[in-house]
Amino acid sequence: MYQKPYLIAEAGCNHKGDMEIARQLIEIAAKTCHADAIKFQKRCPKELLTKEQYNAPHPNPANSYGDTYGAHREFLELTKDQHRQLKTWCEEYGITYSTSVWDLTSAKEIAQLNPKFIKIPSACNTHFEMLGYLCDNYEGEIQLSFGMTTHEEEEKIVSFFEEKKRAKDLVLFNCTSGYPVPYKDVCLLEINRMRASYEDRVKAIGFSGHHINTAVDIAAYTLGANIIERHYTLDRTWKGTDHAASLEPGDMKRLKEELTSVYEALTFKNQEILPIEQVQRDKLKYRKH
């Protein structure tokens, strides 16, 4: 009954604007962690931000790569051609490339690269102009997170995809938007609610976690979220908002191994006494008569 787990390493902007670090993230995710996909982010800061937001200081100056929030975002941004190179590297290393898109310009640019899937982050899931463009101009899978989203907004989003006849290409993610998220705010049982409300209407339900460690991800999988997305970095101590809520390669590798082990374990017995038990039964089972 359980589908094979699919693990997405969310690199985001953890490359710090450095293509060599981005390449290393891809290589390690593929060769060491054995993740199924790696996902980056694409923004057009001047389109995404108001003039006031663009020119304001970063809310946490210690994490900033520029004098303003706009300059910070521009520093971390990769061009369309750089994303094309990321996709080429992913193909060479045998891992699926994808990207989150935060605005219409970015959606248009990434759709032209034709990745297997494109992600809509929680912050943009009611950007219906962008959603409409992707529904009309991109044939791949569309993944979308439900962080900081009301139930009314959720229904509006799913209905929109149904009207566009793209709901069966839509993967919804349970998500709590925070970096990092304490366990009490992960709210894993929302997966049950989402499955009851939407599982028959969309392609799949996934889980996008911003917590620490990996036990929660295993629980999410057993609740039916077979697509697991976790932020991923080479060093959690690096400067930036997402690193502290990310898994380093060793943890990502362990998560992949744990998910695979749990998938293999989630079965019924195919006979009352398994062959491995029969040996012990013959030797140990109490028989006084």
Angle between helices 151-163 and 128-137 (to 10 degrees): 30
Note whether 164 and 136 are within 8 A (CB).
yes
Pairing of strands 6-12, 227-231: parallel
Q: CATH: 3.40.50.12280, 1.10.3720.10, 3.20.20.70, 1.10.10.60. Which one for 6-284?
A: 3.20.20.70
How do the pLDDT tens digits run along the chain, 289 residues long?
Answer: 799 999 999 999 999 999 999 999 999 999 999 999 999 999 999 999 999 999 999 988 888 998 999 999 999 999 999 999 999 999 999 999 999 999 999 999 999 999 999 999 999 999 999 999 999 999 999 999 999 999 999 999 999 999 999 999 999 999 999 888 999 999 999 999 999 999 999 999 999 999 989 999 999 999 999 999 999 999 998 887 788 889 999 999 999 999 999 999 999 999 999 999 999 999 898 776 5
Bridge partners (DSSP) of residue 10 are 39, 231
**Number of separate helices (H) and strands (E) present in the chain:** 12, 8
| pLDDT for position 88 | 98
For the record, the structure tokens of 49 come out as 């931000």
Query: HSE-up of 42 (CA within 13 Å, CB side)?
Result: 26
| pLDDT for position 24 | 98
| pLDDT for position 55 | 95
Q: How far, in Å, CA of 60 to CA of 22, rounded?
A: 24
Predicted TM-score (pTM) of the model is 0.95
- What φ, ψ does residue 228 adopt, rounded to 5°? -115, 125
Note whether 228 and 209 are within 8 A (CB).
yes
- What φ, ψ does residue 134 adopt, rounded to 5°? -65, -40
Q: How far, in Å, CA of 79 to CA of 119, rounded?
A: 17
For the record, the structure tokens of 166 come out as 């793209």
For the record, the structure tokens of 133 come out as 């463009």
For the record, the structure tokens of 138 come out as 């991109």
DSSP strands (E only) in 92-245: 96-101, 117-120, 141-145, 170-175, 204-209, 227-231
- What φ, ψ does residue 229 adopt, rounded to 5°? -120, 125
Q: How far, in Å, CA of 100 to CA of 40, rounded?
A: 6
pLDDT tens for 85-102 read: 999 999 999 999 999 999
Domain coordinates in residue numbering, the chain: 6-284
- Torsion angle of alpha carbons 136, 197, 7, 17, nearest 10°? 50
| pLDDT for position 239 | 81
| DSSP helix, strand, coil percent of the chain (3-state; round to 5) | 45, 15, 35
Three-class SS of residue 15?
Answer: coil
| pLDDT for position 289 | 54
Closest CA to 204 of 174, 228, 170: 170
Q: How far, in Å, CA of 205 to CA of 190, rounded?
A: 11
